[in-house]
Chain A
């Protein structure tokens, strides 16, 4: 019952039904039209025959009088398959013909009329219908000539019968076809919703089956599978991230707790307590920084910051950030050189791009080695350059660089190469850069600076040169 109900509710079945009704109505109309026309044609034929007989007989009567008319009618009445004839006196007494009985009052009428009748030679048979014409001849004689309508009725009957049958056939075949088509569609859709159910229940590895016929269901299944693929990879990524977040937040939290416990156990003086408290505050500040960076990456990756986009000059950002870090570099004995004199307009979030660049410069300062005595080459170079359709921002250092195999890996969240574990940092700096660049539709690459590392950000260039008031 439910299976039938489901079938009846399918779009395919309902469409079939609508189609069927329209088609049946059309067929019925067509046959009705045909039947009516046939009837009219037969009527016309009868009228033609009767008219010509009336003409002939009237002519004979006018020429040769009543006797002749009666004679002719007598002869014609006896022919097999003859027309109906009746000649009467003005008072209605029959003079000649083959009509036994008529509906009353027929003889009083004039012109065409339909009537039930019996033939003279078969008074016991059932009444038949006829189309007759009554003519008054000079002298009050009435002449009735008509044709039996059996043929017409039979014809009409045949056609209506054929009509009924064909409409019934159309409906039955249509219903069968509808059920067949609907069941086919239903089977595919049921299979799809079944798979969708298992996927919803948590099994993200499930995929919709594809028959390979390339029909619309296959195309739908392929697209849905693509979507599932994407969702699964996102979920996998999310899981990795939460694992990493758990690790990178729990490790310092554990450290923090251990330190407090140790202080409770062992600290002897107020100075000891104070030192532990200060370390605790510092550690929590680090935690907050990690957390902030994570949130920032999440926001940049979700595209949430896209509202705050405006046009700004990347060269100016390069100069500003370099200026911010220059004293720090100098403290380390590294020269920081800026090469960003030409305006380079980009559409985006100035704050985020500044932060990304700050991360890169901060990193470069961390790893750059102090300038050699001859000072042939600057320790760090920050460069903003434009080509036809992009703005390229590079930060090069002369540090140890990153082995080619690891360069793409360090851009992932939380990855810190073994040899850099000794350096402070959340390990999120480069992932933030990568997220910001992706948000701006750009490309972030780490290259070999031989020696050292060159971080390269390419951003799509804004169409118009920047118009900034000083």
Chain B
């Protein structure tokens, strides 16, 4: 497997990074401080609120790209914070953190206005990848009919994939996998994100089945081309990007 030259989290593709302003509403001070520090290291700015009321006040002031809200908070419950924000027409993307983590709890979180849901304990890489996707979604990218990364093109209407001059034939699931990767080109996409969005499964399949699917896809996309497009980001997941740029 060709590991990307990215080599970890501290140096994400330099040209992609746009500093984000994040608000972390979390009552565990130590965990929050760790997150603030970790986000700063990768070039984002994060504020911290220790309870639901303070968090709501800060979030209402606005100016954040993404809110990270713990499910269980003192004073005002996480879901209530989201509800009040949405009632005031504040559409800032929200990622819910929860120690509950079961299927129905996730559904409840998303139904109450959350945009993504991450059960505790999570890895920072997973959180970061999801936050970046949420921020990007807000920036208005995404629902194009055609995606292009380097010389790879994917047409969502005709379901055709072409690299250079060569058409690549993909199975339906491989197409959806590539589609998701290309939609988030230049961003880290984790294995759970793929499992959730391409397969619609929210459980851990124990063995890393996703890796095998990626390597299959890779053999169809990158084999025989000098410039690989699908990259593995160690400890995090995958990314499709044009390395030549």
Contact = CB atoms under 8 A, between A and B. Distances in A.
Interface of A: 281, 284-285, 288-289, 292, 295-296, 299, 305, 307-308, 320, 323-325, 327-328, 331, 349, 351-352, 354-355, 358-359, 362, 365-366, 425, 429
Contacts of B216: 327
A365 B213 contact: no
A137 to B, nearest CB: 109
B72 to A, nearest CB: 16
Interface string B177-218: 000000000000000000000010111111101001101100
Nearest to A291: B121
Contact of A328 (B102, B203, B207): B207
Contacts of B235: 281
A308 B103 CA distance: 9
A429 B205 CA distance: 10
Contact of B103 (A284, A320, A331, A351): A351
B173 interface: yes
A333 to B, nearest CB: 13
Interface core residue of B199, B204, B206 (most chain A CB under 10 Å): B206
Nearest to A426: B206
Contact of A296 (B102, B123, B206): B102
Nearest to A320: B199
B205 A305 contact: no
A305 B199 contact: no
A285 B203 CA distance: 14
Contacts of B209: 324-325, 327-328
A365 B207 contact: yes
B206 A289 contact: yes
Interface residues of B, number: 22
B212 to A, nearest CB: 4
Interface of B: 101-104, 107, 121, 123, 173, 199, 201-207, 209, 212-213, 215-216, 235
Contacts of A327: 209, 212-213, 215-216
A93 B235 CA distance: 141
Contacts of A299: 102
B103 A352 contact: yes
A236 to B, nearest CB: 26
Contacts of B207: 328, 362, 365-366
A295 B199 contact: no
A325 B213 CA distance: 9
Contact of A292 (B101, B107, B123): B101
Contacts, number: 61
Nearest to A350: B200
Contacts of A305: 102-104
19 contacts: A284-B121, A285-B123, A295-B102, A299-B102, A308-B103, A308-B104, A320-B199, A323-B173, A324-B199, A324-B209, A327-B215, A328-B207, A328-B209, A351-B203, A352-B103, A354-B201, A358-B205, A365-B207, A366-B207
B104 A307 contact: yes
A289 B205 CA distance: 10
Contacts of B203: 296, 351, 354-355, 358
Contacts of A355: 201, 203
Nearest to B106: A351
A425 B205 CA distance: 11
Given A292-B101, A305-B104, A308-B104, 14 more contacts: A289-B204, A289-B206, A305-B103, A307-B104, A320-B199, A324-B201, A327-B213, A327-B215, A328-B212, A331-B212, A352-B103, A358-B203, A362-B207, A425-B206
A446 B197 CA distance: 33
A292 B103 contact: no
A285 B122 CA distance: 9
A413 B113 CA distance: 37
Nearest to B216: A327
Interface core residue of B101, B202, B203 (most chain A CB under 10 Å): B203
B128 to A, nearest CB: 15
B192 to A, nearest CB: 12
A351 B202 contact: yes
A184 to B, nearest CB: 52
A285 B123 CA distance: 9
A308 B199 contact: no
B121 to A, nearest CB: 6
Contacts of A328: 207, 209, 212
Contacts of B201: 324, 351, 354-355, 358
Contacts of A331: 212
A285 to B, nearest CB: 8
A320 B235 CA distance: 27
Nearest to B172: A323
Contacts of A284: 121
A117 B206 CA distance: 117
Contacts of B104: 305, 307-308
A425 B201 CA distance: 20
Contacts of A354: 201, 203
Contacts of A359: 206
A155 B146 CA distance: 118
Interface core residue of A281, A358, A429 (most chain B CB under 10 Å): A358
